[in-house]
A and B are shown apart, each in its own frame.
Chain A
Amino acid sequence: MIRLFFESFKDREIGERIGEDYEIIRLTAHIRFRTPTGWSKIYDAIVDTGAHAPVIPFNIWKDLGVNVMANYEIKGLNPGRECAIPSIIGKVVCVLLDDRGNQSKEIETISFLAYSNKIPLIIGFKNLLSSFRVCFDYAKKDAYLMEEK
């Protein structure tokens, strides 16, 4: 079992627009990546069940020794090219881990590697969430991943 963490915060800008407090809840995980000489430091990443693959900012992936597969433009809710983030598609190796010493097996996953540092690190389904049972109960502040046997 690998613990996940809720991050909840009030967004003042949205709150002002709608005239009431607006709480945003995110599910996060700890992750580190294999580098040519060992392992990266630990990062926190947004667990996004709406993302089909991980998205990794430039400064995190540039030292990972990525196996590049293709160029791509990441688009969000707005599919317009003016909103696209140039990226490449490549394979990285990572582990998910928590503050109690639990760690997943090494996972190789196709990822979207952004040529931007102005985006968060996102964990999506490809080879990651698809490899686990994902359980969360915000009311009880309990969330974790279970590796499928």
Chain B
Amino acid sequence: MNEEQRKNFEDLEWKRKHHSELLEKYPDMWVAIVDKTIVSAGEDLEKVEREAEKKTGISRKKIPVSFVESGAHIYDQVIL
């Protein structure tokens, strides 16, 4: 495993552990994570990656992204 992959795993783990807090701010949005910090967020993954690249100077192809899912996202058609 190279350094880039190790950092990606760490950032994705950080997101997993902070999902509840992130859900308050970013429900059903994609977030881009660099060094355990959210650098961009939004509903449109492409925009999130572009913004993250612009802010960090890191290629979007190397920035981990993850979806901050709420339960309602999957079941919103039946919870009325």
Binding site for B on A (CB under 8 A): 5, 7-14, 17, 22, 24, 26, 28, 30, 40-44, 46, 57-60, 76-78, 83, 98-99, 101, 117-121
Contacts and interface: CB of A to CB of B under 8 A. Distances in A.
Contact of A9 (B19, B49, B67): B19
B45 A41 contact: no
B13 to A, nearest CB: 7
B45 to A, nearest CB: 4
B63 A44 contact: no
B70 A57 contact: no
B9 A42 contact: yes
Contacts of B5: 42
B3 interface: no
B9 A99 contact: yes
B24 A14 contact: no
| Majority secondary structure of chain B interface residues (helix, strand, loop or mixed) | helix
Contact of A44 (B12, B71, B75): B12
Q: Name, among A5, A24, A26, the residue most crowded by chain B CB atoms within 10 Å (CB to CB).
A: A24
Contacts of A58: 45-46
Q: How big is chain B's contact interface, by range? A: 35 or more
Contact of A11 (B46, B63, B72, B77): B72
A100 B72 CA distance: 33
B43 A46 contact: no
The 7 A-B residue pairs with the shortest CB-CB distance, nearest first, are A78-B77, A117-B45, A99-B9, A120-B67, A9-B19, A59-B45, A9-B20
Contacts of A24: 70-71
Contacts of A44: 12, 15-16, 66
Interface string B61-74: 11111110111111
